[in-house]
A = this chain, B = another copy of it.
Amino acid sequence: MDRSKVLAALSALSHEHRLELIRLLMPLGDAGLAAGEIGQKLGLGASRLSFHLAALEQAGLISSRRASRNVIYAIDLAGMGGTIAYLLNDCCRDHPVVLACCDRSDGVARAVAPELLTPAPER
């Protein structure tokens, strides 16, 4: 995944409603959800929702397909995976502390390599 795509994806994700939208679609997998239902669950008007859905789709994080009158939106696993992979593998170069943060159990990083953690700035 190249830099510009990652930047577009990060930019798309850095918005409250759009991040919420990803969280909503993720567990539904390829089945996805119709735009109208998404709007109801998130409490967004049609036009506003459409704007954010388009942003996510353009960033390669979701995909759309028409089903009769509805337009179904579903998560794009490769897009999400590629974005996270770039941060983890390329930016962080698989740093053990960062990897430990992702290991689901809180505090693992401190247990594994506390000396590698940046100390809080004393001000």
User: Does A80 lie at the interface of the complex (its beta carbon under 8 Å from any beta carbon of B)?
Assistant: yes
* In the complex, chain B residues whose CB is within 8 Å of the CB of A23: 90-91
Q: Are A77 and B109 in contact (CB under 8 A)?
A: yes
Question: Nearest chain B CB to A78's CB is how many angstroms away?
Answer: 6
Interface footprint category on A: 35 or more
Task: Indicate whether A120 sits within 8 Å of B81 (C-beta atoms), given known contacts A10-B10, A22-B91.
Answer: no
Q: Are A101 and B78 in contact (CB under 8 A)?
A: yes
Which one of B14, B63, B101 contacts A7 once the chains associate, using CB atoms below 8 Å? B14
Residues of A within 8 A of B (CB): 3, 6-7, 10-11, 13-16, 19, 22-23, 26-27, 29-30, 63-65, 74-78, 80-85, 87-95, 97-102, 104, 109, 116-122
